[in-house]
C-alpha cells in the first residue's frame, strides 16, 4: 500500500510546479521562529518547505519523505537557495532516525491509519534529544464538518487527544484545535487543524 501511495505522490509532484506553498507552515514558523538553531528532523517533508525554512535559519536539517519526486524537488530548491538539507527517500512508517537525536522534530500534515500514525509519533518522540521540541500539525477530525479541504476519512484525521496520547515521555506544552485561513473560490474560509507542541525534559 505504501508503494502505491508513494507512486501517487510522485505523480502529483511531477504534475505541478509546486504542490504546496514555498513558505513554511504558519504554525511551524510560529513555534520554531524564536528557537536557537540546532539539529532538526522533518518527517513526511514532501517538497521540503518546512525543512528549507529551518535550514535558512541555520538549522542542520534531515528531511524524510517516501516520494522520490517530492524529495528531488526539495533537493533542487535547496540547491537554488544554497541551503544544505539532507533529503532521504524513505517511508516514515519504517524509517529509523539516527541515534544521536534531534533538537527539533516536525510532523506536518501526515495522515495515516491510527496504528501507523501512532508508530510514527512514537518514532518522532524517541528521536528528540533532552530539551528537544516536537511540533505536530495536521487536519483535525472536525475539519470534515466545520472546515474546508483535507482528507475526508475520519480514521486518518487527528484530534489533540489522539496525538498527545501517542507521545510517550514528552511534556505537552500546547494541544489544541487551530484555524487556518485558506482561499476557496475567491473566498477566505477556515480549515481546522490539530496543533501539538511537546518537549523532552532536559537531563538533570
Tell me how far apart the alpha carbons of residues 126 and 176 are, in angstroms, rounded to a whole number.
22
For the domain spanning 2-15+23-200, the CATH number is: 3.40.50.150
Q: Is the pLDDT of residue 204 over 70?
A: no
Q: Is the pLDDT of residue 14 over 60?
A: no
Q: Report the alpha-carbon angle 14-25-185, nearest 5.
A: 70
Q: Please give the backbone phi and psi of residue 79, each rounded to the nearest 5 degrees, phi first.
A: -65, -40
Q: Is the pLDDT of residue 190 over 90?
A: yes
CB 124 within 8 A of CB 156: no
For the chain, give the number of residues: 204
Give the pLDDT of residue 2.
43
Grid cell locating 193: 487543524
Q: Report the alpha-carbon angle 197-88-26, nearest 5.
A: 35
Grid cell locating 76: 533542487
Q: Which residue has the cell 500500500?
A: 1
Amino acid at each position: 500500500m505504501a508503494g502505491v501511495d508513494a507512486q501517487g505522490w510522485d505523480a502529483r509532484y511531477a504534475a505541478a510546479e509546486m504542490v504546496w506553498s514555498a513558505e513554511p507552515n504558519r504554525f511551524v514558523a510560529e513555534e520554531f521562529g524564536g528557537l536557537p538553531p540546532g539539529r532538526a528532523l522533518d518527517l513526511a517533508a514532501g517538497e521540503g518547505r518546512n525543512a528549507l525554512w529551518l535550514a535558512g535559519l541555520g538549522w542542520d536539517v534531515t528531511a524524510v519523505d517516501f516520494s522520490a519526486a517530492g524529495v528531488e524537488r526539495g533537493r533542487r530548491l535547496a540547491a537554488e537557495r544554497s541551503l544544505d538539507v539532507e533529503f532521504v527517500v524513505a517511508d516514515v512508517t519504517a524509517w529509523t532516525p539516527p541515534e544521536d537525536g534531534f533538537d527539533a522534530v516536525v510532523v506536518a500534515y501526515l495522515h495515516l491509519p491510527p496504528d501507523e500514525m501512532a508508530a510514527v509519533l512514537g518514532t518522532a518522540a524517541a528521536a528528540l534529544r533532552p530539551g528537544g521540541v516536537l511540533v505536530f500539525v495536521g487536519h483535525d477530525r472536525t475539519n470534515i464538518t466545520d472546515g474546508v479541504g483535507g482528507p475526508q476519512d475520519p480514521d486518518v484525521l487527528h484530534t489533540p487527544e489522539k496525538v498527545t496520547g501517542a507521545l510517550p515521555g514528552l511534556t505537552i506544552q500546547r494541544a489544541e484545535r487551530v484555524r487556518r485561513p485558506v482561499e476557496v473560490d475567491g473566498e477566505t474560509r477556515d480549515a481546522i487543524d490539530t496543533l501539538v507542541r511537546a518537549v523532552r525534559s532536559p537531563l538533570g
